[in-house]
A = this chain, B = another copy of it.
């Protein structure tokens, strides 16, 4: 089973066909960065159109069982998530509405301070806010998973502790391997995984050791080390693949509507766009390379199958609905 828990591509039939070529059974796609509720609904509408146009390639994913159905029918199940809580605006009642529409992951912050928690680019992090505590309870109730990939350390640890259900870091790597601001320190990964949460490994070059030149061996070796430390069952893939996106989209991700000045995030004025992907992972067709790489560094079959998708499948199965 192959599950990628984070992609944000410039979607097209070409990419859907590449998913099938790479035998990808499920993908969590980001449908909102800074979009608010009404704009997010439009993004759901766009996906409904794609499901209608490409019924042989993709289908909407709501539950883990949809992945079984996708595998049986040779399709990829598309699950939805937000990288910012903007779609719920300031309205806790929208948590359940968005879940009903199909949202399954929501980041509490995207780089900046939100109404709920602190993003990794703020100077200080006072943890989960008063509203954040209420929203975590509500997300737990309906089965909308808390994702802290772009959050600051203390907020992430507090979210893992306050949440009564496991949370996720869908796309980041250990800071000790590659000290990017977005990568996660030991105590953060520990807090998330010891509460049953998941870490999805990112292939966004800014999160890789040696960036675009990172080797498959280094990447897979890092995964093996992380498994030894935190348990192989808590690990999966979240490539952060942003295929075919123009630079204008990078700018939207970074600046949204919060600043009139440009903010380069992990890039710079000299290199404002997306860096090139490493040669062993250009797009969805290359998941086989990762699987081979994991085997090559000595992982056993169960470990490899878990990381490639089995662990996310179990996590989806346990966390996408009300508590049983």
Q: Give residues in A with beta carbon < 8 Å to B.
A: 34, 36, 86, 89-93, 112-115, 118, 121-127, 129-132, 134, 138, 256-261
Contacts and interface: CB of A to CB of B under 8 A. Distances in A.
Interface on chain A toward B: helix, strand, loop, or mixed SS?
loop
Contact of A131 (B112, B124, B131, B138): B112
Contacts of A127: 123-124
Given A112-B115, A115-B112, A258 B92 contact: yes
Contact of A260 (B122, B130, B138, B257): B138
Nearest to A121: B130
Contacts of A86: 90
Contacts of A125: 126
Given A36-B90, A90-B36, A258 B118 contact: no
20 contacts: A34-B90, A36-B89, A86-B90, A89-B89, A91-B257, A92-B257, A93-B260, A112-B131, A113-B113, A113-B115, A113-B129, A113-B130, A114-B115, A115-B258, A124-B127, A126-B126, A130-B259, A131-B259, A134-B259, A138-B260
A217 to B, nearest CB: 38
Nearest to A127: B124
A85 to B, nearest CB: 10
Contacts of A91: 257
A121 B133 CA distance: 14
Given A112-B115, A134-B258, 9 more contacts: A34-B90, A90-B256, A91-B257, A92-B257, A113-B131, A122-B126, A124-B126, A124-B127, A134-B259
A260 B126 contact: no
Q: Give the top 4 A-B pairs by smallest Cβ distance, nearest first.
A: A124-B126, A113-B129, A91-B257, A131-B258
Contacts of A129: 112-113, 122
A255 to B, nearest CB: 10
A91 B35 CA distance: 11
Contacts of A257: 90-93
Contacts of A134: 258-261
Nearest to A89: B36
A118 B129 CA distance: 9
A137 to B, nearest CB: 8
Most buried by B among A86, A93, A132, A257: A257
Contacts of A124: 126-127
Most buried by B among A93, A123, A125: A123
B260 A92 contact: yes
Contacts of A132: 113
A138 B261 CA distance: 11
A279 B287 CA distance: 76
Nearest to A123: B126
A160 to B, nearest CB: 18
Nearest to A131: B258
Contact of A112 (B130, B260, B261): B130
